[in-house]
Amino acid sequence: MLTTDKNSFIHFDDGIVSALTKIVGKNNIITDLEGIYAYSFDCAHIPFDKNYPKVVVIPQNTQQVSEILKIANKRRIPVIARGAGSNHAGGCNPVKGGIIIHFSQMNKILEINNQDLTCKVQPGVVVGDLQRAVKGIGLFFPPDPSNLAVSTIGGGIALCSGGPRAFKYGTFKDYVLDLEVVLADGTIIRTGSQTVKNVTGYNLTQLIVGSEGTLGIVTEATLRLIPAPETTNVMLAYFNTVENAVNAVSGIINNHLTPSVIDLIDKKTVQTIEHFYPNGLLCDKEAVLLIEIDGDSASVELQEKKIIQICTEYGAEKIDCAQDELQKQKIWTARRSAFGACAQLAPNVITEDVVVPRSKIAELTKGILDISKKYNLITMVMGHIGDGNIHPNFALDLRDKKQKNNFEKAKAELFKLAASLGGTLSGEHGIGCQKANFLPLVIDKTTLNLMIQIKKVFDPNYILNPEKML
């Protein structure tokens, strides 16, 4: 793991606060402990300690971000870029204190270009808001994190977020054409172009996407849009075994069908959702597939018939198809409420994120449940079976030292299991500070050293989101 000496950062004094205040104004800076506390967490349950940040700044534009970084780099003060803080791996936790840059005021959709099928946005734009804005003119921004009602574009770029529709449409990296990035020393660069095709020089855009704010801070993004599908429908297919559900997915794909969503939800998750958000879900089957299809009306009707036939052939006990828009929304609301439903079972919920080849999902799911039983943990398994990205939700009480210790052991075994199945540590939640120590399971030493060298080129004083990823 790439670490810093505890004395490597220069002391933070009142003069720095004054300098930052001059940049953003006194109404856009937070220095009281209570205010700072509110910006010092994501969903990773990392304790607030003596290394808490000293100030939160809320810039209005790129130039202000540049001036902030010039001060931070000169004084070697850590800087953490933050959006909604809904990530699960400690990616925006200020583990070395310093300055938090919060992008709530840089939240404008600057342009939607219907002719070029692009848009320009600031990092604080909420994903759901962008989707609604482009839908109004017949366009579609497919990346679809489950918490899209609060998730921001900046966070999606930092983590290369995906969501349920990644199977058909890909993740954030497939829709980022150009970025305006402020480097550690305050220099402002552009990484790409407004064109869909671009092989001019090294692909710095894709290097920044998924880098979790460790190489630079994104202040503007040019994103690719696509025409919106004419219509969609959603169905739920219930199976007596996870293996049957996995085989049905293979059957669907082998029959040249590409649903926009194929999600797996296990029995415990369905039961928990139904208790929290009653929706008439069938609770006695081991697995359910949530399948969304889209396209023109004739195509959706044909896909629906074929998928029903295939799921039946692979042992589906029941298949429910939405009959109207209200039913579609009820199914999706139930799906998106899974994390909140799990929170009814214990004071804390930790969502993990591993990826394996699709053919290994049944083995992974069984392994997760075996590990959970071994360590006496309440665990619900769900995820994007179409691309092999599984999210086990662990409900526990982190105040209980035994439960916490058991979870840490279970997490380590989960990552080793994923690696042994030819998988990796994250598909969309990132590495943050929670998984960095596990990188040698899936990345060789030479490659890790190359990544460290890249970090040093972009951030020689190691101020950008320190102790994350590497």
Q: Indicate where the chain has its CATH 3.30.70.3450 domain(s).
A: 231-324
Residue 214 forms beta bridges with which residues? none
- For the domain spanning 109-227, the CATH number is 3.30.465.10
- For the domain spanning 14-105+453-458, the CATH number is 3.30.43.10
What is the enclosing helix (H) or strand (E) of 87? none
Low-confidence residues of the chain: pLDDT under 70: 1-11, 48-51
Q: Indicate where the chain has its CATH 3.30.43.10 domain(s).
A: 14-105+453-458
> pTM of the predicted model, to two decimals?
0.93
Interval 43-75: pLDDT, tens: 877 776 666 788 999 999 999 999 999 999 999
Interval 445-456: pLDDT, tens: 999 999 999 999
Q: How many Cβ atoms are within 10 Å of 323's Cβ, its own excluded?
A: 9
Of residues 261, 131, 447, the one with CA closest to residue 469: 447
Of residues 144, 223, 131, the one with CA closest to residue 387: 144
**Distance in angstroms (rounded) separating the CA atoms of residues 143 and 133:** 14
User: For the chain, how many helices (H) and strands (E)?
Assistant: 15, 19
Phi, psi for 266 (deg, rounded to 5): -85, 175
Q: Is 227 exposed, middle or buried (0-12, 13-18, 19+ CB in 10 A)?
A: exposed
Pairing of strands 226-227, 188-190: unpaired
Q: How many Cβ atoms are within 10 Å of 285's Cβ, its own excluded?
A: 21
Exposure string over 187-222, b if 16+ CB within 10 A, otherwise e: ebeebbeeeeeeeeeeebbbebbbbbbbbbbbbbbb
Q: What token pair was written down for 313?
A: 């052939």
Interval 291-344: pLDDT, tens: 999 999 999 999 999 999 999 999 999 999 999 999 999 898 888 888 888 888
| Domain covering 231-324, topology | Alpha-Beta Plaits (3.30.70)
What is the Cα Rg of the chain in Å?
22
Q: Where are the beta strands (DSSP E) in 286-388?
A: 287-295, 318-321, 348-351, 354-355, 378-384
Q: Indicate where the chain has its CATH 3.30.70.2740 domain(s).
A: 345-434
Q: What token pair was written down for 405?
A: 């210790």
The whole-number pLDDT of residue 7 equals: 45
- For the domain spanning 345-434, the CATH number is 3.30.70.2740
The whole-number pLDDT of residue 324 equals: 93
